[in-house]
Chain A
């Protein structure tokens, strides 16, 4: 089921009487294709959970419409939308066993949809098998680990075969190792069921690793939407560039002069037809190449060996931050006897942004 957000806006009235409304979601207009795994990504307070609640039906939009396929669901209550939701703290009923938790949505069905006891049992078993908790059905949620509770929550959301599955920060309550495992699990479950899945996260790595598409948001405004790699390679603005990627992109204060990108008085990269003006120069950590004659001279701080590659930490007076972090292949040795290190840059790893609007102005050749 594809999900279409049609100029969707959500305003919350201000807390104090004279303040203006808080716009949590500002004119969202995009389509989520059928059967894909979509990550809503942004820093906390950007409106991603509100967006999820709007799709779910727990919140009513101030403006705009929501379509599930050909159905306008804007004014439908959650139970008639056919959505399954996994809450951030799972919201498993603590007094019910796993089996009863998963069965709960089925027992709500009325009229023609009403299921017999055997059908319910079968559906519960199927959902439990899908998330691999079929051996734990008689436990209480408090007797399970966070990862297992998460699976129960997913099973409960899937048991009534929803048209859209929604997950609110599904991995935030898990430790690092479980997080890796569970995100693969979510990806697997999504592929097996083929249900259109939308999940919310503030962790860019999480979103990039499993999503078919990511939606980057900030302050209620859609920044960019696309495949993870495309968004990473072609960020629409400085915010997106900074938000995606670990280690983060290195941003320098620079300017364009006579078709060259300058950082201080160092000519970094020829860009041709770009208007002369001050810019932010963003260089991905992997965009640096060790070169004794390279144009970018940095003050060497330290070298961190990671095995597969080496992380060079350096300083530069024009850097808009503390330190530069450059990732270079491990076979390239850095001369640590010197105080400085020189780089040249890969043109497609360099992004230029307008100093004022912070919009992308130069699209490097690939």
Chain B
């Protein structure tokens, strides 16, 4: 028995080593950094232990701007992208001809590099000395005045960011939802049809409850993913996100570590832990709602 135990640990060793070095140790390190005040990276020294790092981060206007941006992004993109993905999946699963083609088209953003997509969005939205960008040309064609979406007003930049995020996260959601819709047994629909159920009622009373585990999965991972937004913003506005006023929490963490103002691992760790707390809270709330709707 004892021998077996030893063997078991031996088998687990590669995983334990790997996870320990690359996950558990850095995690503990982040927590340690976040409480070390005045930590100096070069000399590896610190003044004392306390909550100053958190207080600094929470009073930093750049961080507050990043939190605001991130929350707007999350609140707009998660419900919208999930809803639109559901509509597209429903449409996809109710057509027969060209279904594969459409599925491929909708899946393309998933396999496309973020920066390449960013470039396309620049072409669409960026205002340069030579061109106003496709969208502005369209706006002008309809009699509106052009807007600088990339360097212009805050709402315009946020609009582009949201559009971009929705467009990037949608393929995965469509993929999950079309397979969830396909896995609903046809017999339920037949039974509902024999009973004269209206299309709307079939959707709300049969389809939605049947695919609800997948929808909840997408909402939870969607929230987590949106809170971690960073690369999309870089693709659109470049690395100096603070100057553009479009920074996100993860962006703030990165800047604190490596950006122009870099070299502050303690502030970065504190911001990362705040982000962790936010994501954890939202996820727990999600799970509670899910539990309640299950019991009902």
Contact = CB atoms under 8 A, between A and B. Distances in A.
Contact of B193 (A58, A93, A160): A58
Interface of A is mostly: loop
Contacts of B185: 89, 91
Interface of B is mostly: helix
Interface stretch (A35-43, A79-87, A181-189, A264-272): A79-87
Question: Is the interface on chain A under 10, 10 to 19, 20 to 34, or 35 or more residues?
Answer: 20 to 34
B217 interface: no
A57 interface: yes
Given A91-B185, A91-B187, A108-B201, A57 B194 contact: yes
A95 B190 CA distance: 17
B198 A83 contact: no
A80 B193 CA distance: 10
Contacts, number: 55
Contacts of B195: 79, 104-105, 108, 156, 160
A91 B206 CA distance: 11
A343 B174 CA distance: 72
A109 B192 CA distance: 12
B42 interface: no
A262 interface: no
A93 B206 contact: yes
A91 B201 contact: no
A57 B190 CA distance: 10
Contacts of B205: 93, 104
B197 to A, nearest CB: 5
A108 B196 CA distance: 6
Nearest to B208: A95
Given A93-B206, A95-B209, A160-B195, A87 B190 contact: yes
Interface in B171-205: 185, 187-188, 190-198, 201, 205
Contact of B188 (A77, A88, A91, A109): A91
B210 interface: yes
Interface in A104-122: 104-105, 107-109
A78 interface: yes
Contact of B197 (A80, A94, A108, A156): A108
Interface of B: 185, 187-188, 190-198, 201, 205-206, 209-210, 212
Nearest first, the 3 A-B pairs at minimum CB distance are A79-B196, A105-B195, A91-B187
